[in-house]
Homo-oligomer: A and B are copies of this chain.
């Protein structure tokens, strides 16, 4: 299990999502051909990817949806529970707190923090918005596996560094910057404007073709 390529890992959450759709529709078995048609990936790619994890399939019978869903879930670490804190309780932070899907997957938002006095105390789907001055004490007193950063870049970098010193090991970073925390922490970035630039690239390229 150690040598799984980054490309396969990148695809696993997508498999997981499709298997989730299938099981919620009550489908119990799926062939690599059917998955292939849904996911726009070749059937042989699917077989090869799933072989990384011991296969799960039987030739001619397809994959057991529920079983495969559970196994991929375990690989993705979703058989465990994670407690998340969101730093930055603006629209983006609150959007994440509201996102019910996470809770189904064992990720629970236990608090949000902000410096804006106008929203401190407000109840959200992820609990009460607390004053950011209470953040480090909260981290000391509560087991927090993930910190989501929905802050502008300079405060995000500063707080991430302090949180690392307080023992936080995993960051979900929405700030438009790399946190530069060095080794010993895990970071997953969501750079929204980079995603949008990929779209403007495609638009621009398609317009150039037309003209």
Residues of A within 8 A of B (CB): 9-10, 12-14, 16-17, 21, 75-78, 80, 82, 90-92, 94-96, 98-99, 101-102, 105-107, 145-146, 169-170, 172, 176-177, 186, 188, 190-207
Q: Tell me, in angstroms, the Cα distance from A94 to B82 when the chains sit together.
A: 27
For A199, the chain B residues whose CB sits under 8 A away are 146, 170, 172, 186, 188
For A194, the chain B residues whose CB sits under 8 A away are 13-14, 17
Contact present for B13 and A197 (CB under 8 Å)? yes
Which of the residues B17, B91, B198, B206 comes within 8 Å of A94, measured between beta carbons? B91
Q: How far is the CB of A186 from chain B (nearest CB, A)?
A: 4
Contacts known (A90-B95, A96-B192); A12 close to B201, Cβ less than 8 A: yes
Q: Tell me, in angstroms, the Cα distance from A92 to B92 when the chains sit together.
A: 6
Contact present for B95 and A193 (CB under 8 Å)? no
Q: Tell me, in angstroms, the Cα distance from A31 to B102 when the chains sit together.
A: 42
Contact present for A200 and B95 (CB under 8 Å)? no
Q: List 6 other contacts, CB 8 Å, given A12-B197, A13-B198, A190-B195.
A: A14-B191, A77-B200, A91-B91, A169-B206, A188-B198, A190-B192
For A17, the chain B residues whose CB sits under 8 A away are 176-177, 191, 193-194
Which of the residues B78, B94, B98, B193 comes within 8 Å of A101, measured between beta carbons? B193
Contact present for A204 and B170 (CB under 8 Å)? no
**Of listed A14, A98, A107, A188, residue having the most chain B CB within 10 A:** A188
Q: Tell me, in angstroms, the Cα distance from A170 to B90 when the chains sit together.
A: 27
- Nearest B residue (CB) for A194: B13
Q: How far is the CB of A127 from chain B (nearest CB, A)?
A: 15
Which of the residues B80, B101, B196, B204 comes within 8 Å of A176, measured between beta carbons? B101
Q: Tell me, in angstroms, the Cα distance from A12 to B202 when the chains sit together.
A: 13
Q: Tell me, in angstroms, the Cα distance from A47 to B92 when the chains sit together.
A: 36
Contacts known (A95-B95, A186-B206); A196 close to B170, Cβ less than 8 A: no
**Of listed A9, A21, A205, residue having the most chain B CB within 10 A:** A205
